[in-house]
Chains A and B, each alone.
Chain A
């Protein structure tokens, strides 16, 4: 295995990878007379184009990715990323449009945004969408701000957001950023929201309940209408974290379940590639009564021409520069159009089938804390394996030796030693069976040969990494070895 150095370690004077045409205009040597200028960018690399291509190609080969194999990561919906969507998003008309361009010459861009909003509204049963949020977390924040703006206009912003103890970490942190305190709602023995606990905690000081449906255990919150009624009766809103939308497309719609605000993750349900950590897109959908508070600009249409509408007096304001993660949105639009309504329904059906197949196959090997029926994901724990000194992290690291990516770990918090598995609908039975086989073997190894788990992984590019030292003595950038400095 070639160990790839840092680019700075390959750098040396005399090498370069760039090319520029001649300057053409008369050169003025005396420029910026009173401004501090730099002699050079210290430490910046100098390598050839060949070295750049090899460097990144080799680095890429040490990554697992969806194009290689699956990621059974609960709550992440790491489905296949269709290639035609990449092609379409790369059309130069889309990539070269400057955001300040006059609206009449970039109508196609506005049309894309409007059409996507319409389709997402139809899929979710909501009335209006904004495509501005750059990710789910930003969508949550915007959703919370919209809720707050509504309450503020009524005279009392209220103080509290209710969040189930099974929620994703972005939920409470987004609530906090919008100036609310968080009160946790307990889950019952089925893993769903304890309606009594909700009832007791729902007051007129609560601005909203943030709910994920199906929840992070993969269980559908069947009491959703009752829950909505409790919250609405005291003037609060239902915010739905739409991260698990992959279980519901074409089956049921959040808007029909009395949800008031929702965010979606285009990089989850709508197949846009995860890119190693973004860019994503987190559109927010609202019901009519919250529509005036959407961030500006909004895309409207007048006499068959699309335009950006900044005249939105009740808007929460601007939440990002320009309009949204445009190329990500294009990919999602292409995806929705490629699927059609039958395709969207098929997503949920197969996603739920795949997940339940795994669940049924492993239910004797791993502990299932909640026996409730699950949809597109299920959560096991390391309870059986703990008896032999094995934790979920050891199981995860051993899966790597089977060339499989581990499931989501240690989340939700209500299951200790959690292993959250979401295969998505794009996986083949063969890949699912490979995963099941590996998990069964690992369960066996935990009893008979725990050492092999503790020392895993053995076959990956690196073995288990020391995360403790990384946090205790952080080294967050390359620095030139002393004495070398500007010479290189």
Chain B
């Protein structure tokens, strides 16, 4: 259900690594919890992020959630489409709803993340 080539954080971000860059978004579980997304606060291109630093915020009607960077790096792209269509995060959270792309600083940080099967176990265990 969750893409095999993705890595996951405890805060429900996903990271898809392709060479030196990683694409980041929030998971299907997260978007379901949030409800209809109405606004996304995006960082500027060029921002330096540390592991678990706040990237920005995803707002729904009734909730707001910080997005934390799964890895350290420099922001090389942000998904401008989200400015006009924040609902992409609900409709296609693992694809068109991507949030930022980072140039990775330290590959070894990937070891701190969960695999798809580990993440699925993790969300099962979350009390409802």
A contacting B, Cβ–Cβ less than 8 Å: yes
Question: Cβ of B128 and Cβ of A471 under 8 Å apart?
Answer: no
Complex Cα distance, B35 from A468, in Å, reads 9
Complex Cα distance, B127 from A470, in Å, reads 31
In the complex, the chain A residue whose C-beta lies closest to that of B59 is: A471
Q: Residue A40 at the B interface, CB < 8 A?
A: no
Q: Residue B38 at the A interface, CB < 8 A?
A: yes
Question: Cβ of B62 and Cβ of A410 under 8 Å apart?
Answer: yes
Most buried by B among A410, A467, A472: A472
Question: Cβ of B86 and Cβ of A472 under 8 Å apart?
Answer: yes
Q: Which of B39, B61, B127, B128 has a CB less than 8 Å from the CB of A467? A: B61
Complex Cα distance, B61 from A289, in Å, reads 44
Complex Cα distance, B60 from A471, in Å, reads 8
With contacts A410-B62, A468-B38, A471-B61 known, is A416 near B86, CB below 8 A?
no
- Determine how close the nearest CB of chain A comes to the CB of B39; give it in whole angstroms: 7
Q: Residue A15 at the B interface, CB < 8 A?
A: no
Within 8 A of A (CB), among B57-97: 59, 61-62, 86-87
Q: Residue A386 at the B interface, CB < 8 A?
A: yes
Most buried by A among B59, B61, B86: B61
Q: What is the predominant secondary structure among interface residues of chain B facing chain A?
A: loop
- Which residues in A have their C-beta under 8 angstroms from that of B87? 472
- Which residues in A have their C-beta under 8 angstroms from that of B35? 468
Question: Cβ of B128 and Cβ of A472 under 8 Å apart?
Answer: no
Query: In the complex, how many residue pairs between chain A and chain B have their CB atoms under 8 Å apart?
Result: 20
- Which residues in B have their C-beta under 8 angstroms from that of A468? 35-36, 38, 61
- Which residues in A have their C-beta under 8 angstroms from that of B128? 383, 386, 416
- Determine how close the nearest CB of chain A comes to the CB of B81; give it in whole angstroms: 14
Q: What is the predominant secondary structure among interface residues of chain A facing chain B?
A: helix
Complex Cα distance, B126 from A416, in Å, reads 12
- Which residues in A have their C-beta under 8 angstroms from that of B38? 468, 471-472
- Determine how close the nearest CB of chain B comes to the CB of A476; give it in whole angstroms: 14
- Determine how close the nearest CB of chain A comes to the CB of B31; give it in whole angstroms: 13
Per-position binary interface string of chain B over residues 106-128, scored 1 when its CB falls under 8 Å from any chain A CB and 0 otherwise: 00000000000000000000011
Within 8 A of A (CB), among B20-47: 35-36, 38-39
| B interface residues, tally (CB under 8 Å) | 11
| A interface residues, tally (CB under 8 Å) | 9
Within 8 A of B (CB), among A364-417: 383, 386, 410, 416
In the complex, the chain B residue whose C-beta lies closest to that of A472 is: B38
In the complex, the chain B residue whose C-beta lies closest to that of A409 is: B62
Complex Cα distance, B128 from A127, in Å, reads 45
- Which residues in A have their C-beta under 8 angstroms from that of B61? 467-468, 470-471
- Determine how close the nearest CB of chain B comes to the CB of A63; give it in whole angstroms: 22
Complex Cα distance, B38 from A462, in Å, reads 23
- Which residues in B have their C-beta under 8 angstroms from that of A472? 36, 38-39, 86-87
Complex Cα distance, B127 from A383, in Å, reads 11
- Which residues in B have their C-beta under 8 angstroms from that of A410? 62
Complex Cα distance, B127 from A386, in Å, reads 13
In the complex, the chain B residue whose C-beta lies closest to that of A471 is: B38
Per-position binary interface string of chain A over residues 453-470, scored 1 when its CB falls under 8 Å from any chain B CB and 0 otherwise: 000000000000001101
- Which residues in A have their C-beta under 8 angstroms from that of B59? 471
Complex Cα distance, B59 from A237, in Å, reads 35
- Which residues in A have their C-beta under 8 angstroms from that of B39? 471-472
Complex Cα distance, B38 from A171, in Å, reads 26
- Determine how close the nearest CB of chain A comes to the CB of B64; give it in whole angstroms: 11
- Determine how close the nearest CB of chain B comes to the CB of A221; give it in whole angstroms: 24
- Which residues in B have their C-beta under 8 angstroms from that of A467? 61
Interface residues of B (CB under 8 A from A): 35-36, 38-39, 59, 61-62, 86-87, 127-128
20 A-B contact pairs sorted by A residue (CB < 8 Å): A383-B128, A386-B128, A410-B62, A416-B127, A416-B128, A467-B61, A468-B35, A468-B36, A468-B38, A468-B61, A470-B61, A471-B38, A471-B39, A471-B59, A471-B61, A472-B36, A472-B38, A472-B39, A472-B86, A472-B87
Top 5 A-B residue pairs of the complex, sorted by shortest distance between their CB atoms: A471-B38, A468-B36, A467-B61, A472-B38, A471-B61
With A470-B61, A472-B87 already in contact, 5 other A-B pairs whose C-beta atoms are closer than 8 Å: A386-B128, A410-B62, A468-B38, A472-B36, A472-B86
